[in-house]
Amino acid sequence: MVQGLTKEEVNRKLLHGVAVVLPVGIFYGPALLGVSEERVCFGVFVLLAAALLIELLRFRNQAFLNRFMKWFGSMMRESELRQLTGATYVLAGSGICSLISLRGESAAAACFLGLTLFILGDAAAALVGKAFGRMKIGGKTVEGALGCFLLCMALACWVFPSLPDFLAKWGTPFTLLQMLVIATSVSLLELFPIRIGRMVLNDNLYVPALVSLLGLMIR
């Protein structure tokens, strides 16, 4: 692997990328499954509750922790040994987006866009940053942010406009300026995490919701 890019980091981000099933499920689930948006939202929170239960068992039960570490330990960061894992935060961020999606079709489209771009853009930022990053800002890299931006722009320009129902639910022309604003916001929020005192908020929790709300405002 190049520089700091390890097999474990690649596996972690591939697993992170699989989480794209969450925005896909939130957006397309009601039509595909023939259920209401509220039921899909409820399903996301059931998954979040299950993840929190696993976290609780990991912290409280040594036998469960040993088995958990055997399966996932190689992909975990040191900070996650004492805190919630990134996967749980992704589910929490998806839950917030699923609630925003209940506001209507345009909100659902904005959340589909924001959550998907963050999940894939965040993975790109980590992989590019580990492989090629030299200009560091805190624990992130400018190269990683650029990788995130380029992937988000590519997806916004060439993938989302061709996805079924996206433009119809977006409700207005999906312009290049909108794409630039959203891709830039994902990249900057990923590069500069929000701090409250000495505590750094996990970006998986709030970035998808902020980007989704921004998309809803500028559409």
DSSP string covering 81-130? GTS--HHHHHHHHHHHHHHHHTT-HHHHHHHHHHHHHHHHHHHHHHHHHH
* Number of separate domains in the chain: 1
pLDDT at 158: 97
152-173 pLDDT tens trace:
999 999 999 999 999 999 999 9
84-143 pLDDT tens trace:
999 999 999 999 999 999 999 999 999 999 999 999 999 999 889 888 888 999 889 999
Averaged pLDDT, 181-193: 96
Return the C-alpha torsion angle 181, 186, 191, 193, nearest 10: 110
Q: From CA 45, how far away is CA 92, in angstroms rounded? A: 8
Residue 1 domain flag: no
Do residues 111 and 213 lie in contact, with contact meaning Cβ atoms separated by under 8 Å? no
- 34, pLDDT greater than 60: yes
47-95 pLDDT tens trace:
999 999 999 999 999 999 999 998 888 778 788 888 999 999 999 999 9
Q: Residue 151 sits in which domain range?
A: 7-218
pLDDT at 3: 52
- 2, pLDDT greater than 50: no
pLDDT at 9: 67
Residue that wins the pLDDT comparison between 196 and 43: 43
Across the chain, mean pLDDT equals 92
pLDDT at 160: 98
Residue 30 domain flag: yes
Residue 2 domain flag: no
Residue that wins the pLDDT comparison between 197 and 149: 149
Residue 127 domain flag: yes
Predicted model pTM:
0.93
- 15, pLDDT greater than 80: no
- 1, pLDDT greater than 60: no
